[in-house]
């Protein structure tokens, strides 16, 4: 049952409506129908978007000048692997000796520049831009070695370390599907609306959102636009079909009164008792959707959604040397 505080006199029950109408004039009743219709339409409009709201979620650039960024690639897996392989190859360590223990600090001189798309995706998914490092065995300058004890952040020795064997595990998404949206494209599980030249909103089925890797807007030349701000939320889509039917019904009542098809309260009450929409006839399950609302630094021509598997992993064995060796 949808609660409708904006229905005429706060009522949608036929008996209560009839009782209320008996103590007001036909003119007053008409105005109440006008007010209720307008309030329902306002509510329906609010369901369709958040055009009047501004959401924060990133650096906002107050400028009319377009700003583009590197296009997101469906081959992000390759970029991530290339970046991490270079980073892992360049790992070295420094040894800090205290009492009877040695602590290790990692260093990487990698100059590989990760794209903005990679940085935002990787840090969002995996909370770090570094691989997970596991130390396996320590090799000392005197030719001896020692197994690194699991879950320890130090090695029980102060001997000078020559090298360390280790494994590095990194994660990456794979893209299985790309959907390109504009005002002319329709999908059953995706509702797209361009709210302004530089802003858009998308409603996704929640289960589809679970596999969403990235959303990005393009200008008419196909270049990716800088995202000024963004908002994502889970929303419940209400039973709008009933509200739409009720709005149309109230509007017809107003028109019938204006055209004198309804001249008396008795005629009005009789019509309501026979034709007032019944919510039970419009019942649908509440649908949960994911709302995405983004504003961009430039005019949006298309929006691309990338779907796939978010958490694939690869583990690489490697050996690192003393940084000061």
Structure confidence by residue, pLDDT tens digits, 93-139: 999 999 899 999 888 765 444 443 444 445 555 545 677 889 999 99
Q: What is the spatial distance between Cα 128 and Cα 163, in angstroms, rounded to a whole number?
A: 25
Q: CA–CA separation, 164 vs 146, rounded Å?
A: 10
List the Cα angle 53/56/57 in 5-degree steps: 140
Q: From CA 263, how far away is CA 252, in angstroms rounded?
A: 14
- The pLDDT of residue 165: 96
Q: What is the DSSP string of 138-193?
A: EEETTS-EEEPPTT-SEES--SPEEEEEEEEEEEEEEEEEEEEE-TT---SSEEEE
Encoding tokens for residue 200?
């858009």
Structure tokens at 262: 């309804």
Average pLDDT, rounded, for the chain: 79
Instruction: Return d(Cα 56, Cα 230) in angstroms, integer.
Output: 6
Q: Looking at residues 89-94, what average pLDDT do you find?
A: 88
Quote the pLDDT of residue 219: 93
Q: Does residue 29 register a pLDDT over 80?
A: yes
Rounded Cα distance, 297 and 59, in Å: 11
Residue 266 clears pLDDT 70, i.e. is over it: yes
pLDDT-derived band at 188, boundaries 50, 70, 90: low
Angle between helices 76-89 and 116-126 (to 10 degrees): 80
What's the full length of the chain, in residues? 325
DSSP state of 7: S
Mean pLDDT of 221-248: 84
Q: Token match 């001896």: residue?
A: 144
Report residue 191 as tokens: 């509702």
SS3 content of the chain, % helix, strand, coil (to 5): 30, 35, 35
Cα–Cα distance for residue pair 199/299, rounded to 1 Å: 8
What pTM was computed for the model? 0.57
User: What is the structure's pLDDT at 313?
Assistant: 86
Cα 274 to Cα 230: distance, rounded to the nearest angstrom: 48
Give the integer Cα–Cα distance in Å for 220 and 211.
Answer: 27
Question: For 237-262, what is the mean pLDDT?
Answer: 87
Query: CA-to-CA distance for 265 and 250, rounded, in angstroms?
Result: 15
Pairing verdict, β 101-108 and 91-98: antiparallel
- Listing DSSP states for 249-300 in one string gives HHHHHHHHHHTTS--SHHHHHHHHHHHPPPGGGG--PPEEEEEEEEEESS--
């Amino acid at each position: 049952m949808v609660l409708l505080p904006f229905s005429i006199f706060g009522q949608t029950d036929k008996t209560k409506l009839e009782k209320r109408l008996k103590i007001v004039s036909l003119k007053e009743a008409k105005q109440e129908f006008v007010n209720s219709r307008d309030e329902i339409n306002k509510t329906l409009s609010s369901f369709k978007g958040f055009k009047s709201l501004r959401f924060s979620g990133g650096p906002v650039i107050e400028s009319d000048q377009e700003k583009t960024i590197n296009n997101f690639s469906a081959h992000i897996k390759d970029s991530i692997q290339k970046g991490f392989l270079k980073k892992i190859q360049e790992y070295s360590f420094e040894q800090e000796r205290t009492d009877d223990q040695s602590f290790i600090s990692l260093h990487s001189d990698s100059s590989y520049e990760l794209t903005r798309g990679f940085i935002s995706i990787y840090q969002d998914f995996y909370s770090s831009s570094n691989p997970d490092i596991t130390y396996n065995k320590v090799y000392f300058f005197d030719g001896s070695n020692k197994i690194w004890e699991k879950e320890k952040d130090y090695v029980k020795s102060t001997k000078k370390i020559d090298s360390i064997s280790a494994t590095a595990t990194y994660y990456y998404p794979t893209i299985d599907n790309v959907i390109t949206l504009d005002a002319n494209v329709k999908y059953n599980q995706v509702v797209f609306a361009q709210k302004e030249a530089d802003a858009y909103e998308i409603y996704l089925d929640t289960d589809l959102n679970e596999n969403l890797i990235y959303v990005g807007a393009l200008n008419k030349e196909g270049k990716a636009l800088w995202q000024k701000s963004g908002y994502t939320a889970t929303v419940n889509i209400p039973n709008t079909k009933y509200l739409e039917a009720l709005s149309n019904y109230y509007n017809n009542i107003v028109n019938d009164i204006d055209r004198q098809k309804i001249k008396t309260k008795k005629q009005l009450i009789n019509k309501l008792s026979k034709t007032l929409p019944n919510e039970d006839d419009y019942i649908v399950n509440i649908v949960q959707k994911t709302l995405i609302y983004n504003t961009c630094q430039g005019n949006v021509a298309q929006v691309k959604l990338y779907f796939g598997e978010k958490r694939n992993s690869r583990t690489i064995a490697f050996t690192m040397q003393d940084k000061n060796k």
